[in-house]
């Protein structure tokens, strides 16, 4: 993950503050030319959460939140 973050310009953890994990994911996919597993978003959510002062939580703690966010975006896109 550290190498993936460096690839998209996040070379220090403090650079995660204020970042949108979904945007980071899209940037990574564009930069590598491949669609990564959506669990990468969970990892980014966990890292951003922690760097913004949240409790250290494992990436899977963010899976439900990611799924809800993605489902909401899909519903809006259909309208």
**pLDDT tens digit at each of 79 positions of the chain:** 999 999 999 999 999 999 999 999 999 999 999 999 999 999 999 999 999 999 999 999 999 999 999 999 888 887 7
Q: Which domain holds residue 6?
A: 2-78
Q: Residue 33: its pLDDT value, please?
A: 98
Q: Residue 74: its pLDDT value, please?
A: 84
Give the C-alpha separation, 44 to 62, whole Å: 9
**Whole-prediction pTM:** 0.92
Q: Residue 77: its pLDDT value, please?
A: 83
Domain count, the chain: 1
Tokens for 20, please give them.
Answer: 């949108």
């Amino acid at each position: 993950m550290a190498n993936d973050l460096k690839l998209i310009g996040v070379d220090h953890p403090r650079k995660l503050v204020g970042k949108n994990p979904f945007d980071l994911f899209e940037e990574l996919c564009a930069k590598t030319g491949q669609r990564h597993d959506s669990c990468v978003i969970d990892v980014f959510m966990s890292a951003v959460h922690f760097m913004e002062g949240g409790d250290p939580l494992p990436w899977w703690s963010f899976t439900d939140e990611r799924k809800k966010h993605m489902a909401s975006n899909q519903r809006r896109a259909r309208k």
